[in-house]
């Protein structure tokens, strides 16, 4: 249940909340999207396969299976923990816990190598879990600390701060990786050592910068006795939304379409750098800087792409715009199957940036417009969140199976071509006015 804090609407509290985006956005950019995938690929320069848990895995299939498993866990624990936090009013305690666990796990990636593969995979798993779990409690603070007329602005401010902060740290890490001697890193493998130091920098950045947020965010802890039912509050709310959706066919149709195309979308975004590292033929010494520049290119263009998509939806409507975006992604999949050169990869990265932010933002706002008048909006968005997480599990698992069986990431990309086409078809069947 949402609580009204005495400091609701306080600019200092709102700015402190937005600053957590500055603190945690370094994880998805440096760890998920850029430096870690490059480092991980470099470990397998001699052999793309490794034996783990008694099975011989292709490297990209292994990390994909692990990511899918992490999202399975998240699909179960986030409703459970959010239900407890809502009941006890101690969401800041949970936010701190996952922030610290995630930060320490990022630092732990320093020891990720083939000789310590199990402990390395554990740190990767815990960092991923912690980042996504912390977002549940971070996002749920917004209606508690901000009035409705403040929420759009402060949410956008948080996004902007996260973008700026993460790019600053990525550029610093890029300098360290390209010119390790300037940072006191010498000897053979200095580039890889610099990448390992970048994992430490993410952990330190995340944990230090979040202190400003934790200092100012209020924490309303009620002295309630934990009863058995509280553990299942989150799941009970999801069940209630599911029952309501049986009567609201249009939302049910949209969520099914979203589930389908999100499986492809989120997977492509998560594996893009791994694809570039393994499938693109880079000139000697250009791979690292080429991949990181590609990620920066995606980030820069994504901001403009989101604004362009918003303008397009004003003219064509949300559903029709989403159909176009799904078809555009399908075309991108065809192109990705054939690209082999760095210039082609840069062009593909730019096009991904053009539609990446737009389709995610438009999907969320479309769902928001469809929700009926209710005091239970949090439960609806919790349902949306779980739908997305489960779709990531399906997408990553499908990608990993095709990659493992065929030995090529390109074949997995072709599978996603058909998923985006199905998504466009399902969206086209939705008939609703003013959306």
Q: Which CATH code fits 8-226?
A: 1.20.1250.20
Under a CB-based contact definition with an 8 Å cutoff, are residues 275 and 411 in contact?
A: no
pLDDT at 156: 66
Under a CB-based contact definition with an 8 Å cutoff, are residues 370 and 432 in contact?
A: yes
Under a CB-based contact definition with an 8 Å cutoff, are residues 35 and 199 in contact?
A: yes
Residue 299, CB-side half-sphere exposure with 13 Å CA sphere: 24
pTM of the prediction? 0.82
pLDDT at 229: 62
Residues in the chain, how many?
435
SS3 content of the chain, % helix, strand, coil (to 5): 80, 0, 15
pLDDT at 227: 54
Q: Which CATH class is domain 234-435?
A: mainly alpha
Cα separation values, 360 from 108, 178, 317, 351, Å: 31, 33, 15, 15
Q: pLDDT per position in the chain (435 positions), as tens?
A: 344 455 677 888 888 988 998 999 999 989 988 899 989 988 988 888 899 988 899 998 899 899 999 999 998 887 777 667 666 667 788 899 999 999 999 999 999 999 999 999 999 999 999 998 888 788 777 767 777 677 667 776 777 788 788 889 999 998 998 889 999 998 888 999 999 999 999 999 999 999 999 998 887 655 455 555 666 677 777 787 778 777 788 888 999 999 999 999 988 888 888 888 888 998 987 888 888 888 888 877 877 777 788 788 888 888 999 999 999 999 999 999 999 999 999 999 899 888 887 787 788 778 877 877 665 566 777 788 888 889 999 999 998 999 889 888 888 888 899 999 999 999 998 887 656
Which residues, listed in sequence order, are joined to residue 57 by a DSSP beta bridge? 50
- Of 364, 405, 322, 423, give the one whose Cα is nearest residue 159: 364
pLDDT at 86: 63
Residue 232 DSSP one-character state: G
Q: How far apart are CA 101 and CA 129, in angstroms?
A: 9
Q: How far apart are CA 250 and CA 415, in angstroms?
A: 27
Tokens matching residue 330: 């399908």
Tokens matching residue 160: 């902007």
Tokens matching residue 221: 């802890």
- Of 161, 50, 35, 49, give the one whose Cα is nearest residue 109: 35
Return the domain boundaries, the chain: 8-226, 234-435
Q: How far apart are CA 205 and CA 166, in angstroms?
A: 10
Q: How far apart are CA 386 and CA 259, in angstroms?
A: 10
pLDDT at 126: 97
Tokens matching residue 248: 């609201």
CA 25 to mean position of chain CA atoms: 10
Q: How far apart are CA 271 and CA 160, in angstroms?
A: 24
pLDDT at 2: 41
Q: How far apart are CA 240 and CA 246, in angstroms?
A: 10
Q: How far apart are CA 291 and CA 96, in angstroms?
A: 32
pLDDT at 66: 94
Q: How far apart are CA 306 and CA 283, in angstroms?
A: 33
pLDDT at 4: 46
pLDDT at 374: 62
Q: How far apart are CA 219 and CA 3, in angstroms?
A: 10
CA 374 to mean position of chain CA atoms: 28
pLDDT at 426: 95
């Amino acid at each position: 249940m949402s609580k009204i804090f005495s400091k609701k609407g306080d600019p200092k509290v709102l700015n402190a909340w937005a600053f957590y985006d500055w603190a945690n956005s370094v994880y998805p950019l440096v760890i998920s999207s850029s430096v870690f995938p490059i480092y991980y690929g470099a470990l397998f320069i001699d052999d793309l396969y490794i034996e783990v848990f008694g099975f011989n895995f292709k490297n990209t299939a292994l990390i994909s299976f692990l990511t899918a498993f992490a999202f399975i866990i998240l699909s179960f624990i986030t409703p459970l923990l959010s239900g407890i936090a809502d009941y006890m009013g101690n969401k800041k305690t949970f936010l701190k816990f996952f922030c610290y666990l995630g930060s320490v796990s990022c630092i732990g990636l320093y020891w990720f190598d083939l000789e310590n593969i199990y402990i390395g995979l554990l740190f990767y798993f815990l960092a991923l879990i912690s980042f996504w779990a912390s977002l549940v409690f971070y996002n749920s603070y917004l209606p508690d600390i901000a009035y409705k007329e403040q929420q759009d602005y402060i949410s956008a401010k948080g996004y902007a701060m996260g973008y700026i902060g993460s790019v600053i740290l990525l550029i610093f890490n890029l300098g360290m990786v390209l010119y390790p001697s300037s940072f006191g890193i010498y000897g053979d493998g200095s580039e890889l050592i610099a990448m390992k130091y970048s994992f430490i920098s993410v952990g330190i950045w995340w944990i230090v910068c979040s202190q400003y947020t934790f200092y100012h965010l209020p924490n309303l802890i009620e002295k309630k006795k934990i009863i058995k039912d509280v553990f299942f509050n989150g799941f009970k709310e999801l069940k209630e939304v599911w029952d309501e959706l049986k009567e609201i066919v249009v939302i049910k149709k949209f969520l099914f379409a979203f589930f389908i195309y999100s499986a492809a979308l989120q997977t492509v975004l998560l594996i893009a750098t791994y694809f570039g590292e393994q499938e693109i033929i880079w000139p000697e010494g250009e791979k690292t800087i080429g991949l990181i520049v590609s990620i920066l290119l995606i980030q820069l263009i994504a901001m403009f792409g989101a604004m362009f998509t918003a303008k397009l939806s004003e003219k064509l409507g949300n559903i029709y715009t989403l159909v176009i975006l799904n078809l555009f992604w399908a075309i991108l999949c065809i192109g990705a199957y054939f690209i082999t050169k760095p210039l082609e990869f840069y062009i593909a990265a730019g096009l991904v940036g053009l539609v990446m932010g737009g389709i995610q933002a438009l999907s969320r706002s479309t769902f928001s417009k469809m929700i009926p008048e209710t005091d239970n909006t949090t439960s609806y968005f919790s349902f949306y969140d779980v739908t997305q997480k489960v779709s990531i599990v399906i997408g990553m698992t499908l990608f990993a199976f095709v990659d493992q069986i065929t030995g090529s990431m390109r074949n997995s990309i072709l599978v996603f071509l058909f998923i985006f086409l199905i998504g466009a078809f399902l969206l086209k069947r939705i008939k609703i006015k003013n959306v």
